[in-house]
Amino acid sequence: MTTKSNAVERAEAYYDSSEADAFYQTIWGGQDIHIGLYVDDVEPIAGASRRTVDSMATRLVDVNETTHVLDLGAGYGGSARHLAERFGCKVTCLNLSDAE
């Protein structure tokens, strides 16, 4: 039987906690929980976060409706939804947190 490491158990407990969920909802709007590419010091987090996803997506070759993307550590799935809407691709999300 495979057991979880202490680090995995702690990460799960953190990301599944109501405190973390409330924080990410308040700060990042509950869509993305990654850092962003900011144009200036006053840009809202959501725009900078979306720019990060767009920047990564432009580095992919031929993303279209036949492409299947695997989003590891997908969080709330905001990046996955954005990619699917923008390119029409299929996205599979894997994430440690049941709450997210």
pLDDT in tens, 53-99: 888 888 887 889 999 999 998 988 988 998 999 899 999 999 988 88
Return the pLDDT at 1.
Answer: 64
Collect all residues with Cβ–Cβ distance below 8 Å to 21 and sequence separation of at least 6: 99, 100
pLDDT for residue 17 is more than 90: yes
Q: Measured between alpha carbons, how far is residue 7 from residues 1, 10, 90, 92, 98 in Å? A: 18, 5, 31, 24, 16
The DSSP H or E segment spanning 69 is strand 68-72
- What pLDDT does 3 receive? 77
Burial 65-98 (b: 16+ CB within 10 A, else e): eebebebeebbbbbbbbbbbeebebebebebebe
Classified as helix, coil or strand, 12 is: helix
Gap between the Cα atoms of 14 and 58, Å rounded: 32
Q: Do the Cβ atoms of 90 and 67 come closer than 8 Å?
A: yes
Residues 48/57, Cβ–Cβ less than 8 Å: no
